[in-house]
Structure 1
């Protein structure tokens, strides 16, 4: 059992395990996160089955896209981190999808009006003007995104209380306004607050290494005292509880 192991052993394990891709199976039995009621992967798959050309932005290791039962005749994905590009290519190429290495902040390397559907799960940042540009008239953007102050019980254990401007960076209403400013019509916007539990400090270390924007520049060495105090808290009180926030947004381009 993880709880019978030493602080040093747990931290070393969390620091050593690979963070490539977007597979969270390593956390089984060590951390849990409630899922949104809307079922993003299923809903994405339903939409992919009814279009002829689609793009998945910031696909990670391609795991979510690969879960779709049917891909359209033209399926492309972008990813900016080289290890994930290789992983996604190996996973998606047999399905007939092409993976394009593209920096997250760069313009999308596709022509205007190239896609019926653009999807993204947990993009670091959404470039609304680029999404609107590559969508055909009547095309759809469908995305699940990280909401405001997500897992901030954990973030603020390491960084201290964050300013309100930081806590509200990913406000869904700001996303709506940005989409509309780019000429898109928001047809669905839903929010969820979801329970997370971390059962040992190794799971915390792995999570912060994998989800790098939570505690930017996180290293075991820099945050050793915070890790040890959290380990002692978990041992004394049981799983550490935090709450993630998510929102689902669906937007369409006008038909001509």
Structure 2
């Protein structure tokens, strides 16, 4: 077990988890406090390979731009002539703009559930890491014929061991829309051809309650409306469980999604 939680009080750890900024998708703060196994396909490195051969690329729901920035760095000096990103959360728009502007990439503020603000047949590569909900008809529309959608999605019942600790048992329908088979059907209904679809479940360990608090503040859709005050009894019980039994174990669900818009 991590040394972070041995002598420190519940109140100290919770205060620390509350104090950490939540912008962007940099998870380096969790070092030594939580671990998550990574999918075997190495999404960011794989994306770099796609970017190195793309002419016009769009990254949807880019977060703080960290994954796209890393992938473009790996793809350099080959990079798309045109590359843009969208993001819906204002704090992340600002963070992604600061990170990606030096690479000549515009970040467009666009709500995740709104039509993409681009013309038909614009991009030969559309990418996304952990989109809230893929808008398949819009992805198909902005892809040029023969273009590719390459993404890593969150799968069904991801980290539900933790979610259900706070919310109680949830019906399967809650995450049914994220099931790879459902997404395959939706993508095909939008006119895309599935090239590759692989799913994995991956072990996560939370070593102290500060990591749990920060995670639930950062990934806001896990426990909607999460605050420490609202869920203090569940947090205190989980803190005591970690203290006595060691890390709390959950499992994330991820799938790699590659689809192609048929050539005319």
d(CA) in 2 for partners of 1:83 and 1:247?
A: 27
In structure 1, runs of 5+ residues without a counterpart are none
Q: Quick check: 1:201 aligned with 2:201?
A: no
Distance 2:80 2:94 in 1: 21
Alignment partner, residue 190 of structure 1: 198
Instruction: Please say if 1:33 is aligned against 2:36.
Output: yes
RMSD: 0.7
1:73 Cα shift?
1.3
- Residue among 42, 46, 49 paired with 1:43: 46
Partner of residue 67 from structure 1, selected from 70, 74, 89: 70
Distance 2:225 2:38 in 1: 27
Q: Partner of 2:159 in structure 1?
A: 151
Q: 2 CA distance for matches of 1:212 and 1:142? A: 25
Q: Show CA shifts across 1:110-160 (max 9, x none).
A: 000010000000000100000000000000001100000000000000000
- SS, match of residue 178 in structure 2: coil
Match of 2:177, SS state, is coil
Could you tell me how far 1:167 is from its partner in structure 2? 4.1
1:133 counterpart = 2:141:
yes
Q: Is the 8 A contact 2:24 2:92 kept in 1?
A: yes
Which 4+ runs in 1 deviate beyond 6 A? Answer: none
Q: State the alpha-carbon separation in 2 of the partners of residues 117 and 180 from structure 1.
A: 17
Aligned length: 256
The alpha carbon displacement at 1:16 in A equals 1.2
Q: 1:168: how far off?
A: 2.8
Q: Is the 8 A contact 2:140 2:192 kept in 1?
A: yes
The whole-number CA distance in structure 2 between the counterparts of 1:96 and 1:205 is 36
Aligned to 1:231: 239
Q: Match for 1:15 among 14, 18, 26? A: 18
In 1, distance between residues paired with 2:80 and 2:179?
32
Distance 1:5 1:92 in 2: 39
For 1:210, the equivalent position in structure 2 comes to 218
| Distance in 2 of aligned mates of 1:164 and 1:74 | 41
How far apart in 2 are the matches of 1:209 and 1:201?
12
Secondary structure, in 3 states, of the residue corresponding to 1:67? helix
* TM score, norm. by length of structure 2: 0.96
Which residue of structure 1 aligns with residue 90 of structure 2? 82
